[in-house]
Amino acid sequence: MKSDATNRRAAIIVLDGVGIGAAADSAAYGDVGSNTLGNLAKAVGGLMLPSLQRLGLGGVAPIEGMPFALKPTGAFGLMEPASAGKDSTTGHWEIAGLKLARPFPTFPTGFPRDVVDEFAARTGREVICNEVGSGTDILERWAAEHVRTGAWIVYTSADSVFQVAAHESVIPLSELYAACETARTMLVPPHDVSRVIARPFAGEPGAWNRTTNRRDFSIAPPGETLIDALAAAGIARSGIGKVDDLFAKRGIDGGHTTGNTEGIQRILDWIASGSGFLFCNLIDFDQLYGHRNDVPGFYKALQEFDNAIPAITAALHEDDLLFITADHGNDPTTPSTDHARENVPLLAVGPRVRPGAIGRRASFADLGATIGDWMGLEFRGAGTSFLPLIVAR
């Protein structure tokens, strides 16, 4: 049934990997001490992010260089992860109201031989690598042989991912994507990884570089999400970045970007003329900087987003709610290059938002519940709406 809240819109901007302190169960994930924003602030001598500060980020947790704004313009709080896992799929699904009881499987010693052999047989190319490691290190060691042989580079990380790398001049993108789709159909329980990721790259020895043609092939959500509920109500749904991939393209249109700069422009475009619901992932924090322990790059990306906030908030319509959050942590200051089990910031802004504290939410799913409430749906998923805290009825 279509919602009566026909003029209302809602948007979520996920700053991929921008956590704000280790979750209570971080020890179980090997992430004690991870604090993406807090440790980054210490590493750069204090964060200068005036727009995020005005929205209330300094009131979420102690951040060097960011005192609490005495008169914040947004509502602010913190969300704790309730699902098992610390990857993008799990985080986005939980934001959309779906809580996972078990984590996706990981492969700390690489994939089983039978899985790799089946992938090679189905795709018609050999596999020369089946390792655990960061993408840049994997390319340094295996890219030259791949170029020489045309064989796949397959690797994973501490996350539940089956990654396939190929040089764009050796294997066409269409073949790489088809191979990843093949892997997705193969990887069923007990090897049901969260995501198959196409990792195209270019360059030559000593100067390999991953291109912007990455694609994620996620497992389908096992239950109802906010996106499903919006679709059933006839409310428009738009995705920016890898969001459509994370939901296996179920109920949401795609909008892949070359990075944060393009993503920010598309946010502005949607605010100007879009309708319904926007789910945006800005990936550069995670993909380019967190996984590479690049502190200066991470901070620069935050500054770029911070500089865009005034234009974003000024363009909001009367019945718009916009939320800024994250899906997990990816602390660039720790030895690890993997995701971290962290709490995430929660900022809300819009003409009708009442500035002030949202508090500490027990699940990311509270955000999906709040949007369902705002859009006039019965859907609350695994969360509890905090709409009364931020908008006067």
Strand pairing report for 152-156 and 161-167? antiparallel
Q: What single-letter amino acid sits at 332?
A: P
Confidence of residue 159 (pLDDT cuts 50, 70, 90): confident
> Would you identify the CATH topology of the domain 9-102+219-390?
Alkaline Phosphatase, subunit A (3.40.720)
Parse the chain into domains and list their residue ranges. Answer: 9-102+219-390, 113-217
Mean pLDDT of all residues belonging to the chain: 95
pLDDT for 121 beyond 90? yes
Q: Looking at residue 51, what DSSP letter applies?
A: H
Whole-number Å distance between alpha carbons of 371 and 235: 12
pLDDT digit string (tens) for 54-91? 999 999 999 999 999 989 999 999 999 999 999 999 99
pLDDT for 20 beyond 60? yes
pLDDT digit string (tens) for 244-302? 999 999 999 877 898 999 999 999 999 999 999 999 999 999 999 999 999 999 999 99
**pLDDT for residue 6:** 67
- Give the pLDDT mean for 141-160: 95
**CB atoms closer than 10 angstroms to residue 50:** 15
Alpha-helical segments (H) within the chain: 36-43, 50-55, 88-95, 113-123, 135-149, 173-186, 226-232, 243-246, 260-273, 284, 295-315, 365-374, 387-390
CATH number of 113-217: 3.30.70.1250
pLDDT for 4 beyond 50? no
**pLDDT for residue 393:** 66
Confidence of residue 1 (pLDDT cuts 50, 70, 90): very low
- Distance between the two ends of the chain, CA-based, in angstroms? 22
**pLDDT for residue 5:** 59
